[in-house]
Amino acid sequence: MSKKWKFSDIVKWGPGRHEPGATIPESGTAEQYETGGWRTERPIRDREKCNDCMICFFACPDSSIRVENGRLVDIDLKHCKGCGICAQVCPRDAIEMKNEIEARMEEGKKEEEKV
């Protein structure tokens, strides 16, 4: 059985030409599956209110709370599905769930302002 496996090899798959049991001989491949597009609500974190307690980090089912040096840096929107658990568990109400479409429109406005 092959030890290493390339994601691009998948196009050569077919009956009898893949690992038995649909096993992927590589770990952590979920990162390559971007589920951010499923989101209908986006978590917006208020940096002023947040004290980096990390409760949302432990609660997030998609490992989308990005932490560096003990500080909550930002939320990984490529993978966040918008479940809202982070907003629920936050003891300081520092995370607000915002309608995804509105959030995108606001983003667009900011881009325009920059131009």
Partner 1 sequence: MSRKAMTGNGAIALALKQAEPDVMSAYPITPQTEIAQNYAQFVADGAVKTEYIAVESEHSAMSAAIGSAAAGARTITATSSQGFALMWEMLFIAASLRLPITMPVITRALSGPINIHCDHSDSMGGRDCGWVQLYGEDAQEGYDNAIQAFRIAEHMDVRLPVMTMIDGFIISGAIGPLEVLQDDQVKQFVGPYEPIHPLLDIDNPVTVGAFDSLGGWYFEHKVTQNMAMDKAMSVIESVGREYGQLTGREYSHFKTHMIEDADIVLVAIGSAAGNVKTMVDRLRAGGVKVGMMKVRTFRPFPHLQVAGALAGARVIGVMDRSDSFGAQGGPLFTEIRSAMFEAPRRPQTFNFIYGLGGRDIFPDDIEGAVRLLEKAAAGEEISQKRYYLNVREVSLDGQA
Q: Which of residues 36-95 bind partner 1 (CB under 8 A)?
A: none
Q: Of 9, 10, 104, 108, which lies in the binding site for partner 1, with binding defined by CB under 8 A?
A: 10
If you search the block for the tokens 């989308």, which residue do you land on? 64
Q: Is 102 exposed, middle or buried (0-12, 13-18, 19+ CB in 10 A)?
A: exposed
Smallest distance from the beta carbon of 101 to partner 1, in angstroms?
Answer: 24
Nearer Cβ to partner 1 (24/101): 24
Smallest distance from the beta carbon of 49 to partner 1, in angstroms?
Answer: 36
6-14, 43-51, 77-85, 105-113 -> range binding partner 1 (CB under 8 A): 6-14
Distance separating alpha carbons of residues 62 and 23, to the nearest angstrom: 21
Smallest distance from the beta carbon of 80 to partner 1, in angstroms?
Answer: 18
Cα dist. 6→17, 24, 25, 97 in Å? Answer: 14, 10, 9, 37
Residues 6+ apart with CB under 8 A from 34: 78, 79
Residues that bind partner 1 (CB under 8 A): 1, 3, 10, 13-16, 18-30, 33
